């Protein structure tokens, strides 16, 4: 019986080790930096979506968030260098295999964030909602093509 218990404990310890986050050991930690940059973008973008979904649109707050998003949008891209497709990345190999398509997706995101800032400056919900959705759609399309789930 104690052998079974010891085996069970060992199995639990081994399996729990599988869930440990992988450290970015690359020089300068580019994967870690781009993940942090994307998280900063998300921390700015998500409150805008919550505001719209919950019908609590605050034009001033939304405009400030849109401007912050516009500022943060450049953060991740410099860290997608040729030698950065290793754990803990969640980027698909397609980022490097199809660089033109990846660049096009980045440009669509930039155009959408430009439009979002302009819409937010109008302070009109009727302009803000579709502009937000275009940014959301650009993120979703890029994730579908270039990010592992």
Going residue by residue through the chain (149 aa), what tens digit of pLDDT does each one get?
A: 445 434 434 444 444 445 566 899 889 999 999 999 999 999 999 999 999 999 999 999 999 999 999 999 999 999 999 999 999 999 999 999 999 999 999 999 999 999 999 999 999 999 999 999 999 999 999 999 999 98
User: For position 20, what pLDDT does the model report?
Assistant: 60
User: For position 15, what pLDDT does the model report?
Assistant: 45
Helix axes 59-72, 125-146, angle to 10 degrees: 30
User: For position 134, what pLDDT does the model report?
Assistant: 98
Burial of 144 (0-12, 13-18, 19+ CB in 10 A): exposed
Please name the residue that has the structure tokens 């980027």: 91
With b for 16 or more beta-carbon neighbours within 10 A and e for fewer, the 9-22 pattern comes to eeeeeeeeeeeeee
Q: Which sequence spans correspond to the domains of the chain?
A: 2-146
What are the backbone dihedrals phi and psi of residue 101, each rounded to the nearest 5 degrees, phi first? -65, -40
User: For position 25, what pLDDT does the model report?
Assistant: 84
CATH homologous superfamily of 2-146: Cytochrome c/b562 (1.20.120.10)
Give the span between the Cα atoms of 18 and 100, in whole angstroms.
35
pTM of the complete model: 0.84
């Amino acid at each position: 019986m104690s052998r079974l218990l010891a085996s069970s404990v060992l199995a639990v310890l081994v399996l729990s080790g599988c869930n440990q986050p992988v450290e970015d050991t690359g020089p300068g930690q580019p994967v870690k930096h781009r993940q942090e940059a994307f998280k900063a973008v998300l921390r700015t973008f998500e409150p805008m979506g919550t505001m719209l979904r919950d019908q609590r649109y605050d034009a001033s707050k939304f405009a400030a968030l849109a401007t912050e998003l516009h500022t943060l949008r450049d953060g991740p891209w410099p860290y997608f260098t040729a030698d950065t497709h290793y754990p803990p990345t969640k980027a698909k190999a397609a980022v490097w295999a199809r660089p033109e398509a990846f660049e096009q997706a980045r440009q669509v995101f930039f155009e959408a964030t430009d439009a979002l800032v302009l819409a937010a400056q109008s302070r009109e919900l009727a302009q803000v909602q579709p502009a937000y959705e275009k940014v959301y759609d650009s993120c979703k399309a890029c994730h579908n093509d270039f990010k592992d789930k």
